Amino acid sequence: METTNKYKLLSYFYISISLVLVGIGVTYNAFDFLYTFITVSVLVIGVLPLVHEKGIEWSTYISRILVGSLFVVSGLIKANDPLGFSYKLEEYFAESALNWPFFEPYSLAISILVASSEIILGFAVLFGGKSKLTNWSLLVMILFFSWLTFYTAQCDPNGVYTVVENGVEVERGVTCVTDCGCFGDALKGSIGRSLTPWESFKKDILLLVFVIILIVRSSFIKINTKTDDLIILPLSILFVVVLGGMLFGWWFPLIFTIATFIIYLIIKQLKLSVLDMDWQVALMVSVVSFGFAWYCLTNLPQMDFRPYGINKSIPLQMRTAEEIEGVEAPVFVYDYVLENKLTKELKQVRSDAYMGEKMYEDTLWAFKETKGESYMIKDGYMPPIMSFNIGDEEQTHQLLESAEPVFVLVSYDIAHSDKGVQDEVNEFVKLSKEKGIRFIGASASLYEDIESFKKETGNTFEYLEGDEKILKTVIRSNPGLVLLQNGVVLGKWHYNNFPEIDKALSKIKNINEVTSDAIQDEIRVQMVEKDGVFWLPIKINGLAVEVVYDTGASSVSISSEKAAFLYDDGRLKDGDVIGEVKYQMADGGISTGLDFVIRKLEIGGVVLEDIQASVVGNDKAPLLLGQSALMNFSKVTVDNKTKELILTRK
């Protein structure tokens, strides 16, 4: 009876909290997806024990499945890129952020420990192992991360802190960590951005809701029975499919989870008497978790979510919204401080209002200063790569536009670059030169340090200057080898797996044979997804345009406005027009338009000639890449992970 009353009190508490959340959401219009999910989850967890005698068991199952699966996927994403997560921790530990500089030397070790701990705790929740230790560990971790995300969400980008230098107090600007690093670069690679600190805080509060249920039920949670396994394991696999595979486009967590489940079931069947079953399972999960993190550290991430992944185009990902048709840019503003010339009163206005209302013409109020940094008032498309440089502007342009392959040895910190691989590097450079392939280095180190390193190791190739943060993002290895052609990343190698020249050259066979002028068999064209539609760049009679990939359209289709521009520009001539024609759109409708021939249509570097196209009557209709162009390829597929259109030549 006492236990039942305890659950009822917990239910009433959760229901009360859900009602408070509804009130806050209505008052402050806070009902975004995460806030709504939290509110509904709290209400469901509260109601279940009241409506059914097994409601508390259902709440426990739900909590175990959601918390366990989320921790497994989150931990795997961090373990997939332990160096990247350590860089994020360094941002937190910096003097200008949390002011915990004493932790900075241990960032990598902490990165691996946190990532592995999340995986271990996630599986422990799913398996029911050492429930009290597991659940209290989860609570401590969630409370810490809740505090951390709340702290960063409250950060004032205009704030300052004081340090003493040579006996003098000096003010410095604080660092606000706007990307929590919860899911690494996975969210950037899937939805185009990371969670904001406030979104991360809401996520942690949601987890706290479920963890409290686990704390209350700790004494009833034991190593899974057969019934528990039949309920928890399949549903957690489904959750991993949704989160890891469908959201992040990464199916390795599913494979890892299933493999771990199989080992866990085998251990249960063996019934070894060496250790308690709980510790046997914990030891097994610890080995596979730390093993995966170590593998990714000493090689490269198993999944590269960054914009410099293999087969990704750097130039295409640097295009701004203004360069992509049909895409809107975000709107940023500043806060201006104005001063009344008579009363010296100060007031603050936004820069868009200042310019739009022509406040600069006001004779009473004078501009005094800009307060803080710019901030976004309207969301929009942000390039995945905001800036990229190796060498000066001209050298960077040549590197990204080079039709010939280029090997780049990235050593962001030359002082800590692995020296044991340098003999292999020098031999590789020699063979590369013999084959007429350019080889350069890229480093953020000082010129004197680079020259000293070259003398010590015998490097004879040129090192170009690069930004440290960019170079660390390009490849998680110091040094690491990158193969570029036309600005596309064709290959990446960790120094522990430095390739032989022939293996490296095999990466460029599908793009351009080094020793011949053979045309590639497979072409990859980077696309941009907006509102569920894929846009890609092509050229129509030499004019660069953005088109929608549309397999349902029977021909290439352009708007009357675009056709008029082509005609006025001399790119569409009277002789190209065939006449009026009826054609089928993607939705099955029949439309009437003007049929004409595109003399040259270029896509992915391949030029197609005499392609049938149609002009639709709508001035604002998007350009469609239809079957009249796509039929010239033997195979057309889409890589949903990299958002690339893959075209195979006939």
Q: Is the pLDDT of residue 47 over 80?
A: yes
Q: Is the pLDDT of residue 581 over 60?
A: no
Strand 590-603 versus strand 577-584 pairing type:
antiparallel
Q: Is the pLDDT of residue 512 over 50?
A: no
Question: Token pair of 362, please?
Answer: 């006001």
Q: Which residue has the tokens 């009290």?
A: 132
Q: What is the DSSP letter of 251?
A: -
What is the pLDDT averaged over residues 52-67? Answer: 89
**What is the 3-class SS of 269-287, one letter each residue?**
HHCCCCCCHHHHHHHHHHH
Contact 384, 317 (CB under 8 A): yes
* Sheet containing 346-350: order of strands: 346-350, 331-340, 365-378
Contact 314, 400 (CB under 8 A): yes
Question: Token pair of 421, please?
Answer: 């691989």
Residue 634 burial class via C-beta count within 10 angstroms: exposed 0-12, middle 13-18, buried 19 and up: exposed
DSSP for 512-569, please give it.
--TTS-PPPSEEEEE-EEETTEEEEEEEETTEEEEEEE-TT-SSEEEEHHHHHHHHHT
Residue 2: per-residue pLDDT: 45
Provide the mean pLDDT of the chain: 85
- CA dist., res. 647 & res. 635, Å (int): 6
CA atoms within 13 A on the CB side of 79: 26
- CA dist., res. 184 & res. 244, Å (int): 13
Question: Token pair of 505, please?
Answer: 């050259």
Contact 174, 161 (CB under 8 A): yes
Residues with Cβ < 8 Å from 348, sequence gap 6 or more?
335, 336, 337, 338, 371
Residue 390: per-residue pLDDT: 93
- CA dist., res. 582 & res. 225, Å (int): 65
What is the pLDDT averaged over residues 581-599? Answer: 62
- The tens digit of pLDDT for each residue in 258-298 reads 999 999 999 988 887 777 888 888 899 999 999 999 999 99
What is the pLDDT averaged over residues 489-493? Answer: 94
Question: Token pair of 479, please?
Answer: 């040094």
Residue 513: per-residue pLDDT: 39
Q: What are phi and psi of 344, to 5 degrees?
A: 65, 15
Percent share of the chain, pLDDT over 70: 93
**Of 143, 148, 147, 150, which Cα lies nearest the Cα of 212?**
143
Residue 388 burial class via C-beta count within 10 angstroms: exposed 0-12, middle 13-18, buried 19 and up: buried
The band of 461, judged by pLDDT with boundaries at 50, 70 and 90, is: very high
Helix (H) or strand (E) holding 293: helix 277-298
Q: Is the pLDDT of residue 75 over 80?
A: yes
What is the pLDDT averaged over residues 418-429? Answer: 94
Q: Does domain 393-508 have CATH number 3.30.700.30?
A: no
The band of 71, judged by pLDDT with boundaries at 50, 70 and 90, is: very high
Q: Is the pTM of this model over 0.75?
A: no
| Dihedral of the alpha carbons of 439, 443, 449, 455, in degrees to the nearest 10 | -10
The band of 181, judged by pLDDT with boundaries at 50, 70 and 90, is: confident
What is the pLDDT averaged over residues 463-478? Answer: 94
Residue 484 burial class via C-beta count within 10 angstroms: exposed 0-12, middle 13-18, buried 19 and up: buried
DSSP for 203-227, please give it.
HHHHHHHHHHHHHHTGGG--S--HH
- CA dist., res. 356 & res. 333, Å (int): 12
- The angle formed by the CA atoms of residues 56, 61 and 63, to the nearest 5 degrees, is 90
Residue 228: per-residue pLDDT: 93
Contact 453, 443 (CB under 8 A): no
**Of 108, 347, 64, which Cα lies nearest the Cα of 211?**
64
- CA dist., res. 604 & res. 338, Å (int): 52
Q: Which CATH number fits domain 522-649: 2.40.70.10, 1.10.10.10, 3.20.20.220, 3.30.2140.20?
A: 2.40.70.10
Residue 510: per-residue pLDDT: 45
Residue 3: per-residue pLDDT: 53
Identity of the highest mean pLDDT range in 39-48, 165-174, 311-320, 433-442? 433-442
Residue 519: per-residue pLDDT: 36
CA end-to-end span of the chain, whole Å?
Answer: 75
Percent share of the chain, pLDDT over 90: 36
- CA dist., res. 64 & res. 244, Å (int): 17
The CA–CA distances, whole Å, from 614 to 197, 542, 560 equal: 48, 18, 9
